[in-house]
């Protein structure tokens, strides 16, 4: 009885919690409760329309109430701004409308007709994706007319569809399959021959089975609107219609893999993933991409210990719902060239596997045998913040402060965060109306930042000026110079571009991190800052002076203060390469001892004396800060290979063997340490506004050299140890980059 009383006490509370959802009607109450007059009185008669959950978390902001209209979806009233479509109204009302051609990020085509709904007083069903709402519209989505329309459309779509789901890679995640289950008929009436279409060769990434195509034109719109390459088109007409390039042509876009996701059927599928797995066998892990500094949100699909594919995850502020081909297809690099065991180089130059105990002991001994300032630590471009702080702490305890991160160049500026971040944020670039790109080729350095610029240029005709070597852009741009001379001309007001920047409302400057390696970096930055002052690029409410970083570790390395200059390598005797494959070791004395800690037998191991195997980004929990200064976490998707360990754990173990024990034993403890050095790294998914304070900038004594800017990324498909080990990326570079 006491239980019942307790139940009665919590009951109203639970009701309140659930009153918004359908659970209300499912509430089962015990009989004594019904006889309770109090409860009976408290029971409110159900409102006629319970608030509904919009599809996919859709929400709208009505800015001007005068400009909004009210429509009724199956009798349920929805208010939304004028100009929105019937489909959007339905989504707000929680009714999911079947669709094929409509995609929220592409223009509306209205050619699949799957989204037909009935609208009162309209003589025939209307395509809801293309029909704007009108005041008082009465939309009906579950009437016999709507159902029949969908069934009819479905029958037509399936008429020429091969129905080869059992051998189709899209099976299980196919819109056509799902929607035909729900809306289709259980048999067709089509007895003629089905049409067949020649498959097209779109390159090593996208497999085509064009007979499956339903002519939704999503891929065509994606290619021209988002990827910015006008390669795909709809050729022919009627039943002969087909998607293609007409002339033999590969799809040369760094975003081409996204057509695999947007194709609602199995016409465009992933070539490397073909026949490898069914999607229901895969385990999805929500993680972060580390192949560039953008930090795209990804889902790593794995089966057992193997990464099977990588898909994008929605993040409006970073990658929207696209990822670059490098992100998507680098995963086979995680299986090749991996370092399994700790190894020591023999007298005859061969590596021989040893136990962790021996390896650590040898390294600790060597480290103690050199002068503290002859110890140098270099973090690689895939390092997470945890391992970098561990490396720094370890070296500091050994008495050295020579820690750096590759790619940050000479004399890195780490005190002012705004001097190395993309200050206007990736999404913020959409507000800019003028871009000055200095020494950066965003298309290969950060394809998704480039996609934003492309989107902005497409939407607002924003002007783009570019200073740097001849480069490939997929939007209109003006190549105004190749080197610092042009910068000087603009800074001194001699260049025609000055008037453009002065008249711009929200100008944005993007400086490539490739320039960080130049000797005259400070002078270049000073010139850029002069331009920025001149053009009002930074002003209250708008900071358009951006630095576009190249790799995933750079931002957090600067935040953590891994800022020594690469010159220290000249006198180094002990070099700790933590995944650093691109560090320039030419100046390293011959007798220096090199410890390479990393996951791939890549460039770094050529010079190594001892190898520590560590885990890759797909196997560890790590914090990465992207080029906007937004920290994000990777989540382990698969187990590590062989005897490898997380980077920070190795450093921690080594510190103990070397007698300078680091005070953290768990990830939480490392993160606590991180929070003391750079608290923003624990503020996941947040962007902290950096202050603009040029006065704090230290004096510099460099002269601007007149050497033209170079390209920072030579081969988009191979930039780090993972992508260099990937066969797919190798194929891409050989087929797509050939001139």
Under rule CB under 6 A, residue 260 binds ligand SF4: no
Under rule CB under 8 A, residue 236 binds another protein: yes
Under rule CB under 8 A, residue 459 binds another protein: no
According to CB under 6 A, which one of 268, 446, 537, 651 is a site residue for ligand SF4?
268
Give the Cα separation of 285 and 287 in Å (integer): 6
Under rule CB under 6 A, residue 328 binds ligand FES: no
**Rg from Cα positions in the chain:** 29
# residues near another protein by CB under 8 A: 20
Under rule CB under 8 A, residue 248 binds another protein: yes
Quote the least distance from Cβ 232 to ligand SF4, whole Å. 8
Question: Which tokens in the block code for residue 52?
Answer: 């509904």
Q: Which bin fits 446, alpha (ψ -120 to 50), beta or left (φ > 0)?
A: beta
3-state secondary structure labels for all residues of 622-688: EEEECCCCCEEEECCCCCCCCCCECHHHHHHHHHHHCCCCCCCCCHHHHHHHHHHHCHHHHCCCCCC
Give the Cα separation of 33 and 322 in Å (integer): 53
Quote the least distance from Cβ 46 to another protein, whole Å. 53
According to CB under 6 A, which one of 113, 200, 218, 299 is a site residue for ligand SF4?
218
Pairing of strands 351-353, 343-345: antiparallel
* Residue 219 interacts with which of ligand FES, another protein, ligand SF4, none, CB < 5 to 8 Å by class: ligand SF4
According to CB under 8 A, which one of 35, 121, 187, 237 is a site residue for another protein?
237
Quick one: which of 128, 56, 61 has its CA closest to 94? 56
Pairing of strands 434-438, 542-543: unpaired
Under rule CB under 8 A, residue 233 binds another protein: yes
Quick one: which of 262, 202, 252 has its CA closest to 230? 252
According to CB under 6 A, which one of 139, 153, 267, 491 is a site residue for ligand SF4?
267
According to CB under 6 A, which one of 73, 93, 106, 114 is a site residue for ligand FES?
114
Query: How many Cβ atoms sit within 10 Å of the Cβ of residue 623?
Result: 24
Q: What backbone torsions phi and psi does residue 649 show, to the nearest 5 degrees?
A: -70, -35
**Residue among 216 and 405 whose Cβ is closer to ligand FES:** 216
**Residue among 66 and 248 whose Cβ is closer to another protein:** 248
Question: Rule CB under 6 A: which of 71-110 touch ligand FES?
Answer: 99-102, 110
Quote the least distance from Cβ 103 to ligand FES, whole Å. 9
According to CB under 8 A, which one of 27, 190, 246, 606 is a site residue for another protein?
246
Give the Cα separation of 407 and 412 in Å (integer): 10
* Residue 102 interacts with which of another protein, ligand SF4, ligand FES, none, CB < 5 to 8 Å by class: ligand FES
Under rule CB under 6 A, residue 112 binds ligand FES: yes
# residues near ligand FES by CB under 6 A: 13
Under rule CB under 6 A, residue 525 binds ligand SF4: no
Under rule CB under 6 A, residue 217 binds ligand SF4: yes
Dmax over Cα atoms in the chain, in whole Å?
A: 92
Question: Angle between the 356-369 and 647-657 helix axes, to the nearest 10 degrees?
Answer: 60
Question: Which tokens in the block code for residue 307?
Answer: 């990464």
Under rule CB under 6 A, residue 521 binds ligand SF4: no
Give the Cα separation of 121 and 380 in Å (integer): 65
Quote the least distance from Cβ 111 to another protein, whole Å. 14
**Residue among 262 and 501 whose Cβ is closer to ligand SF4:** 262
Using CB under 6 A, which of the segments 32-40, 151-159, 211-219, 506-514 binds ligand SF4? 211-219
Burial class (CB in 10 A: 0-12, 13-18, 19+), 181: exposed
Under rule CB under 6 A, residue 211 binds ligand SF4: no
* Residue 240 interacts with which of ligand SF4, another protein, ligand FES, none, CB < 5 to 8 Å by class: another protein
Find the helix or strand (DSSP H, E) in which 386 lies.
Answer: helix 385-398
- Sign of torsion over alpha carbons 680, 684, 689, 690: positive
Quick one: which of 445, 455, 567 has its CA closest to 512? 445
The answer to whether residues 497 and 503 touch, using CB atoms and an 8 Å cutoff, is no
* Residue 268 interacts with which of another protein, ligand SF4, ligand FES, none, CB < 5 to 8 Å by class: ligand SF4
Under rule CB under 8 A, residue 231 binds another protein: yes
Quote the least distance from Cβ 266 to ligand SF4, whole Å. 8
Query: How many Cβ atoms sit within 10 Å of the Cβ of residue 11?
Result: 17
According to CB under 6 A, which one of 78, 106, 216, 389 is a site residue for ligand SF4?
216
Under rule CB under 8 A, residue 463 binds another protein: no
**Residue among 243 and 429 whose Cβ is closer to ligand SF4:** 243
What string marks each residue from 54 to 93 as x (binds ligand SF4 by CB under 6 A) or -?
----------------------------------------
Under rule CB under 6 A, residue 127 binds ligand FES: yes
Burial class (CB in 10 A: 0-12, 13-18, 19+), 45: exposed
According to CB under 8 A, which one of 31, 63, 64, 191 is a site residue for another protein?
191
Order of strands across the sheet with 351-353? 351-353, 343-345, 610-613, 593-598, 574-578, 375-379, 403-405
Query: How many Cβ atoms sit within 10 Å of the Cβ of residue 376?
Result: 26
Give the Cα separation of 624 and 292 in Å (integer): 11
Under rule CB under 6 A, residue 213 binds ligand SF4: yes
Give the Cα separation of 279 and 385 in Å (integer): 33
* Residue 224 interacts with which of ligand SF4, another protein, ligand FES, none, CB < 5 to 8 Å by class: another protein
* Residue 191 interacts with which of ligand FES, another protein, ligand SF4, none, CB < 5 to 8 Å by class: another protein
**Residue among 242 and 341 whose Cβ is closer to ligand SF4:** 242
Using CB under 8 A, which of the segments 27-35, 244-252, 525-533, 619-627 binds another protein? 244-252
Burial class (CB in 10 A: 0-12, 13-18, 19+), 68: middle
Beta-bridge mates of residue 126: 117
* Residue 591 interacts with which of ligand SF4, ligand FES, another protein, none, CB < 5 to 8 Å by class: none
**Residue among 215 and 327 whose Cβ is closer to ligand SF4:** 215
The answer to whether residues 516 and 412 touch, using CB atoms and an 8 Å cutoff, is yes
**Residue among 231 and 520 whose Cβ is closer to another protein:** 231
The answer to whether residues 276 and 327 touch, using CB atoms and an 8 Å cutoff, is no
Give the Cα separation of 424 and 699 in Å (integer): 26
According to CB under 6 A, which one of 86, 137, 197, 219 is a site residue for ligand SF4?
219
Under rule CB under 8 A, residue 234 binds another protein: yes
Q: CB under 8 Å to 672, separation ≥6 — which residues?
A: 664
* Residue 218 interacts with which of ligand SF4, ligand FES, another protein, none, CB < 5 to 8 Å by class: ligand SF4
Give the Cα separation of 412 and 363 in Å (integer): 29
Using CB under 6 A, which of the segments 152-160, 213-221, 494-502, 663-671 binds ligand SF4? 213-221
According to CB under 6 A, which one of 85, 177, 215, 297 is a site residue for ligand SF4?
215
| Contact footprint for another protein (CB under 8 A) | 191, 198, 200, 224, 230-237, 240-242, 244-248
| Contact footprint for ligand SF4 (CB under 6 A) | 213-219, 243, 262-265, 267-268
| Contact footprint for ligand FES (CB under 6 A) | 99-102, 110-115, 127, 129-130
């Amino acid at each position: 009885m006491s239980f019942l009383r307790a139940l009665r006490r919590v009951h109203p509370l639970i009701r309140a919690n659930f009153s918004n959802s359908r659970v209300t009607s499912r509430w089962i109450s015990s009989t004594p409760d019904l006889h309770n007059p109090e409860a009976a009185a408290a029971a409110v008669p159900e409102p006629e329309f319970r608030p509904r959950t919009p599809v996919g978390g859709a929400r709208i902001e009505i800015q001007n109430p005068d400009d909004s209209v009210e429509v009724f979806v199956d009798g349920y009233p929805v208010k939304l701004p004028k100009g929105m479509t019937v489909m959007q109204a339905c989504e707000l009302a929680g009714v999911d409308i079947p669709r094929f051609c409509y995609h929220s990020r592409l223009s509306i085509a209205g050619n699949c007709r799957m989204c037909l709904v009935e609208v009162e007083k309209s003589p025939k069903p209307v395509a809801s994706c293309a029909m704007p709402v009108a005041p008082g519209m009465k939309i009906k989505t579950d009437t016999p007319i709507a159902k029949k329309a969908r069934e009819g459309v479905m029958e037509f779509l399936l008429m020429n569809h091969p129905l080869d789901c059992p051998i189709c890679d899209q099976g299980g995640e196919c819109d056509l399959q799902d929607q035909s289950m729900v809306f289709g008929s259980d048999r067709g009436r089509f007895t003629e021959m089905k049409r067949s279409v020649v498959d097209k060769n779109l390159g090593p990434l996208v497999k085509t089975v064009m007979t499956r195509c339903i002519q939704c034109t999503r891929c065509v719109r994606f290619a021209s609107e988002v990827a910015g390459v006008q390669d795909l088109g709809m050729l022919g007409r009627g039943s002969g219609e087909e998607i293609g390039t007409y002339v033999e042509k590969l799809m040369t876009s760094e975003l081409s893999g996204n057509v695999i996701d947007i194709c609602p059927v199995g016409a465009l599928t992933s070539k490397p993933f073909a026949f490898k797995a069914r999607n229901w066998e895969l385990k999805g892990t929500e993680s972060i991409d580390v192949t560039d500094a953008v930090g795209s949100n990804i889902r790593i699909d794995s089966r057992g210990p193997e990464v099977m594919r990588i898909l994008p995850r929605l993040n409006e502020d970073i990658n929207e719902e696209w990822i670059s081909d490098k992100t998507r297809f680098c995963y086979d690099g995680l299986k090749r060239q991996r370092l399994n065991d700790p190894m020591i180089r023999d007298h005859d130059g061969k590596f021989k596997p040893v136990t962790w105990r021996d390896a650590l002991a040898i390294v600790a001994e060597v480290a103690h045998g050199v002068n503290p300032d002859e110890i140098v630590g270099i973090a690689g471009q895939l390092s997470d913040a945890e391992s970098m702080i561990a490396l720094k702490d370890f070296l500091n305890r050994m008495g050295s402060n020579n820690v750096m991160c590759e790619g940050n160049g000479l004399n890195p500026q780490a005190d002012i965060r705004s001097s190395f971040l993309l200050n206007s944020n990736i999404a913020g670039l959409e507000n800019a109306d003028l871009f000055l790109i200095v020494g950066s080729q965003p298309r290969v350095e950060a394809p998704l930042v480039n996609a934003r610029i492309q989107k902005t240029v497409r939407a607002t005709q924003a002007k783009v000026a570019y200073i740097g070597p001849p480069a490939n852009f997929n939007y209109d741009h003006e190549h105004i110079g190749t080197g610092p001379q042009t910068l000087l001309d603009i800074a001194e007001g001699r260049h025609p571009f000055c008037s453009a920047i002065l008249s711009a409302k929200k100008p944005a400057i993007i400086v490539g991190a490739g320039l960080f390696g130049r000797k005259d970096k400070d002078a270049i930055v000073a010139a850029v800052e002069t331009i920025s002052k001149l053009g009002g690029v930074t002003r209250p409410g708008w900071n358009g002076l951006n630095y576009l970083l190249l790799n995933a570790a750079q931002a957090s390395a600067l935040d953590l203060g891994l800022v020594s200059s690469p010159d220290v390598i000249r006198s180094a005797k002990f070099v700790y390469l933590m995944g650093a494959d691109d560090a320039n070791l030419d100046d390293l004395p011959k007798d220096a001892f090199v410890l390479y800690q990393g996951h791939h037998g890549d460039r770094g191991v050529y010079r190594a004396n001892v190898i520590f195997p560590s885990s890759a980004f797909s196997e560890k929990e790590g914090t990465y800060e992207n080029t906007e200064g937004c920290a994000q976490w990777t989540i382990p998707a698969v187990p590590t290979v062989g005897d490898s360990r997380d980077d920070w754990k190795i450093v921690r173990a080594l510190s103990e063997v070397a007698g300078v024990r680091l005070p953290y034993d768990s990830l939480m403890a490392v993160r606590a340490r991180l929070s003391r050095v750079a608290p923003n790294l624990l503020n996941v998914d947040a962007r902290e506004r950096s202050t603009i304070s040029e006065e704090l900038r230290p004096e510099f004594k460099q002269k601007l050299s007149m050497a033209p800017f170079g390209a920072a990324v030579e081969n988009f498909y191979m930039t780090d140890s993972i992508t260099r080990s990937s066969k797919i990326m190798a194929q891409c570079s050989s087929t797509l980059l050939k001139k």
